[in-house]
Chain A
Amino acid sequence: MMFMKRYLIPRLIQYFLVIFLGITAVFFIPRFTPSDPVQRTIAQLTSMGSYLDPASMEDFIEDLTEMYGLKGSMLQQYGAFWQRLFRGDFGVSFFQFPTPVIELIGTSLPWTLGLLLTTTFLSWTLGNIIGGLAGHFSRRRWSRALDTLAMVVRPIPYYIFAFGLLLLLAYVVRWFPVAGGTDIGRKVAFNWPFIKDVLRHSFLPALSLVILGGAINFQTMKLIVQNVNAEDFVQYAKLGGVKEGRIVSRYVIRNALLPQITGLALSFGQIFSGALITEIVFSYPGLGTLLYNAIVTGDYNLIMGITLLSIVAITTAILVIDLLYPLFDPRVRYT
């Protein structure tokens, strides 16, 4: 019961508050910036060469105002905004006109989820295992070499790193396809050729995410393991003759993993942003590329939909990680 009161309930309150704040921010941002989405859309249409006579222009402005949810006072707009969200209605896309935003997101989401979950899992486990070993054998030459490599890779932003890989492995040596999620015109089907095609296309985006994420996990894990190794209880276990393997697995790794779980939760938003940016580089058909198309065509509804959904998805993912945390840390479990 104490666990519920001390850990679970405050965490849930925080979860709902963050979602509330994020969505409220998304609502107010366009309303407090000086550009009028209705006028923008009209300017865009007229610059493309369509002509409307004044009467139908009036109707059009009316429709647009309604569609953007700009009718009534600020408070009414805010209420209507939440009502629409609960119905799962994010409006329609301008980029592919009558298609609802939610449908476009629905087709892109599986791609992003697949890429994001696999790469996060791989980079976290690989980074921690290799980092843990490197921390334990920190005086060996390979450990130092890996450390230097991580020092070079770590500061490079997602875009530049992915672009560099693309240049090198798709243009210069041509091992991998330049863009897309599958070969052009391939139908979605659950057979081997389709899966092989998807894997071949997603290899480069996945590789760049795994290397960048893995480098960060490697560095922090190595540092933590080095610090834990210097702690008194590890020294004592060594002097007491506990076997090396047992010290590493039960004493060191167990303690070092805890901050890494918290770290995963804290950096998940960044990892997600990084995945979107990487998708753009490789024209991978997920949310990132959808976002790119939305930006290029000025499709504000779609951008808002993607942002709203991402806020909910990321805070939920972090909540799940946080709720799993007591499984690994008995100190939280028993308070």
Chain B
Amino acid sequence: MSVLRDLFKDYRFALSFCVLCMLLALALLTIFSPHDPTFWGVVPRDLKPSRDNLLGTNSKGQDVFWQATFAVRNSLIISVIAGTVSRVVAVLVGMVAGYKGRGTDRALMFISDSLLVIPLFLIIVMLAMLVRDMMNLVTLGLLLAFFGWAWDARVIRSLILSLREREFTQTAVLSGTGTLQLVLKEYMPFATPLVFSTLINNMAWAIGMEMTLAILGLVNMDIPTLGTMLQWAISYQAILLGYWWWILTPIILAILLFVALYWLSVSISEYLDPRTRIQRVGAQ
């Protein structure tokens, strides 16, 4: 509990935590939604925000507020799939490369360096174009996971490299601990906070990528996400027609989500770095 209390002393953590809770609550509200988000024409079209329709309605005859709840939920689902799967890859690659060293290390790091250097956006567009017909939340999440591990594998590798040189590794190896057990029992506790803070960054990246792909029409447009919601608003000329409630809802939700995720990860990683933690917490 004292960890949480220290974290909450940072206004950025407190603020972003509250915003994320709010967005999560919004996502949970989908359970009570009166409409199916994929149906068109369930409410009158193009209404301004009012008491009946909190955020108005769009040109497809859908309630913008309930659409937004589904959009937030689905964007979060994609990002959680992309984030967790790519974390598994990053941890495996980072640990194997860091622990095995030599040829394995060089080969794995070459692959991850190549992924960092190549314009991934274009490769993802090419792939998304080819699997467009089977695009759904899960395949999109997996597609993004496939490309999102390179940087974090490097971070975990350098952590393992430094842990490997410490004395407790020698002690463990000499007292007969197997490699797998050593990694899981001794190294994982060091890596977990790092994995968590890279997870948040990766989730933000996945949500942003989903929005970009949606604008290009490369995802399933029937599933409401923040990206598809914005894309429908743009393609129905909501800007020119002045339906600000329709176009601004996904934009503002997305900005809130990105800033909150980023602030959360910054304040957690500052907390994990003892030098900055002393500045913030220890001085009192």
Interface residues of A (CB under 8 A from B): 14, 17-18, 21-22, 25-26, 29-30, 33-35, 151-152, 154-160, 163-164, 167, 171, 266, 268-269, 272-273, 276-277, 280, 291-292, 295-296, 298, 300, 303-304, 306-307, 310-311, 314-315, 318
Contacts and interface: CB of A to CB of B under 8 A. Distances in A.
Given A295-B125, A295-B217, A159 B211 contact: yes
Contacts of A298: 129
Contacts of B209: 157
B259 interface: yes
A272 B263 CA distance: 25
Nearest to A37: B130
Contacts of B125: 291, 295, 303, 307
B114 interface: yes
B119 A307 contact: yes
A252 B79 CA distance: 40
B122 interface: yes
B122 A306 contact: yes
B161 interface: no
Contacts of B8: none
Q: Which of B117, B217, B258 has the most CB of A within 10 A?
A: B117
Contact of B118 (A35, A269, A291): A269
Interface in B248-271: 251, 254-255, 258-259, 261-263, 266
Contacts of A33: 127, 130-131
B interface, by DSSP: helix, strand, loop or mixed? Answer: helix
A17 B107 CA distance: 12
A171 B216 CA distance: 22
Interface residues of B, number: 40
Contact of B122 (A14, A35, A167, A307): A307
A295 B204 contact: no
A157 B114 contact: no
A307 B239 CA distance: 32
Nearest to A311: B118
B261 A21 contact: no
A167 B215 CA distance: 16
Contacts of A295: 125, 129, 216-218
A18 B119 CA distance: 12
A6 B62 CA distance: 63
A171 B234 CA distance: 13
Contacts of B190: none
Given A151-B12, A272-B119, A157 B259 contact: no
A295 B231 CA distance: 15
B61 interface: no
A138 B122 CA distance: 39
B130 A159 contact: no
B120 interface: yes
B49 interface: no
Q: Which of B114, B120, B208, B266 has the most CB of A within 10 A?
A: B114
Contacts of A291: 122, 125
Contact of B126 (A34, A156, A277, A307): A307
Interface of B: 12, 110, 113-114, 116-123, 125-127, 129-131, 133, 204, 208-209, 211-212, 215-218, 230, 239, 247, 251, 254-255, 258-259, 261-263, 266
Contact of B123 (A18, A155, A300, A307): A307
B108 to A, nearest CB: 14
Contact of B259 (A152, A158, A306): A152
Contacts of A311: 118-119, 122
Nearest to A269: B119
Contacts of A18: 113-114, 117-118
Nearest to B122: A307
A310 B258 CA distance: 28
A167 B121 contact: no
A273 B217 CA distance: 17
A114 to B, nearest CB: 18
Given A21-B114, A157-B211, A159-B211, A164 B251 contact: yes
A238 B217 CA distance: 58
* A-B pairs, 7 with minimum CB distance: A155-B262, A157-B208, A273-B121, A33-B130, A307-B122, A155-B258, A310-B119
B118 A155 contact: no
A160 B211 contact: yes
A161 to B, nearest CB: 9
A154 B261 CA distance: 12
A295 B127 CA distance: 12
Contacts of A296: 216-217
11 contacts: A29-B126, A33-B131, A34-B130, A154-B262, A269-B118, A292-B216, A295-B125, A295-B217, A307-B125, A307-B126, A315-B117
A306 B123 CA distance: 10
A34 to B, nearest CB: 8
Contact of A269 (B120, B216, B239): B120
Given A18-B114, A157-B212, A159-B215, A25 B123 contact: yes
B118 A22 contact: yes
A35 B133 contact: yes
Given A25-B123, A157-B211, A160-B254, A269 B12 contact: no
Contacts of B215: 159, 280
A322 B150 CA distance: 20
Contact of B212 (A17, A277, A304): A277
A300 B255 contact: no
